[in-house]
Amino acid sequence: MKIKSYEMFTVPPRWLFLKVETDDGLVGWGEPVIEGKAATVKAAVAELMDTIIGKDPMNIEGIWNELYRAGFYRGGPILMSALAGIDQALWDIKGKYYNAPVHQLLGGKAREKIKVYSWVGGDRPVDVGAAALELKNTGITAVKMNATEELQYIDSYSKVDAVLERVASIREMCGNDFGIGIDFHGRVHKPMAKVLAKELEQFRPMFLEEPALPENNENLRDIAMHTSIPIATGERMFSKWQFKTLLQDGYVDIIQPDLSHAGGITECKKIISMAEAYDVAAAPHCPLGPIALAACIQVDATCHNAVIQEQSLGIHYNKGNDILDYVTDASVFEYTEGHVEVLDKPGLGIEINEDYVRERSMVGHNWKNPVWLHQDGSIAEW
């Protein structure tokens, strides 16, 4: 069996899908994208795919290493996201060849289902209490929210109070056992991150996400010293080598590799297993589409330390289309009592509605993340 051809589809709201076909007709799907850089990743996928046409798609480790190591300049968000989508598609093909879900090829299930969380509040968080309660009433048991809008290195305590009021509204409306993840989103610089981390303890959140930018991961030490809340990070880290340093430093409690950014199934399985050796949990990042989510669930199924899965159904970015639109059977992502069942169909476990993908690719997208400014005109972290 050989890799024969590939196609890419830029589809709303902000996703890129990759279809890889073999010479015996098997098809695999992947989701290689960086939010806001879909066209750039698309070009990188084409450069990489052109080098593996004619190769045996079953040799995933060999192809992965060729695509990573044969380039003198390696890694980073673009190349690793391109590689991630190719890797997902090859695993989809391999599962279909053996008529088995990917998790069986990775060693089998460690669980039957994985807890999921939903987003509330949008980029500029508002009405989070009511939104969380609405989700709770549908069976969701945990949510994540952006903590703040723009924050300067040193900023007003009224903004801190506003964060506390929003989190308090979720806790009051949804109860003590409802999960609350609070995403600092890299917006909060070290001085204010220490303040917020300490003040938020009273609400007993699930985790604080990205309280430091990944280029400032050394700051996690000082932030962790100010709080007992679990620290989560990793969505903007792209390889086992980056996670190695993070885990060795010892100030992270939950890692969040993205299976569409950090080298795909092959690399993220290794990253999450590395974290297990440090007694660190995993909650894969996935505000993306159905292929990325399916890949996450396949890996989650095999990892003892996977504790919760992000998913994008209803997220504020999904304008015009959502994850269920592109699959033929929406029941595969049915959430019951806050969990999703492990996907047991061959490959990634989902069937893509290719006709609809082609239709929506004619619309496409040119999604860009917002550019925020502080009052003084300087660039704010988004």
| Structure confidence at residue 177 as a pLDDT band (50, 70, 90) | very high
186-219 pLDDT tens trace = 999 999 999 999 999 999 999 999 999 999 999 9
Query: Which one of 189, 285, 339, 365 is the catalytic residue?
Result: 285
| Domains of the chain, earliest start first | 3-100 (3.30.390.10), 104-347 (3.20.20.120)
d(CA 296, CA 301) in angstroms, rounded, equals 9
Give yes or no for a contact between 181 and 205, defined as CB atoms under 8 angstroms apart. Answer: yes
285 as an active site residue: the answer is yes
pLDDT band, residue 268 (cuts 50/70/90) = very high
Q: Give whole-number Cα distances, 148 to 21, 76, 380, in Å.
A: 44, 27, 12
Q: Which pLDDT band holds residue 132 (cuts at 50, 70, 90)?
A: very high
Q: Which bin fits 204, alpha (ψ -120 to 50), beta or left (φ > 0)?
A: left
What are the tens digits of pLDDT across the range 5-54? 999 999 999 999 999 999 999 999 999 999 999 999 999 999 999 999 99
Per-position DSSP letters for 55-74, written without gaps between them: S-TT-HHHHHHHHHHTSSS-
| Residue 304 annotated in active site | no
The answer to whether the peptide bond before residue 284 is cis (omega within 30 degrees of 0) is: no
Of 185, 339, 365, 374, which one is the catalytic site residue? Answer: 185
DSSP 265: H
CB 31 within 8 A of CB 323: no
Q: What is the pLDDT of residues 306-317, one digit of tens each?
A: 999 999 999 999
Across 315-343, average pLDDT: 96
Model pTM?
A: 0.97
pLDDT of residue 290: 98
Of the chain, the percentage scoring pLDDT greater than 70 comes to 100
Q: What is the tens place of the pLDDT at every residue in 141-163?
A: 999 999 999 999 999 999 999 99
For residue 363, the tally of other CB atoms under 10 A from its CB is 11
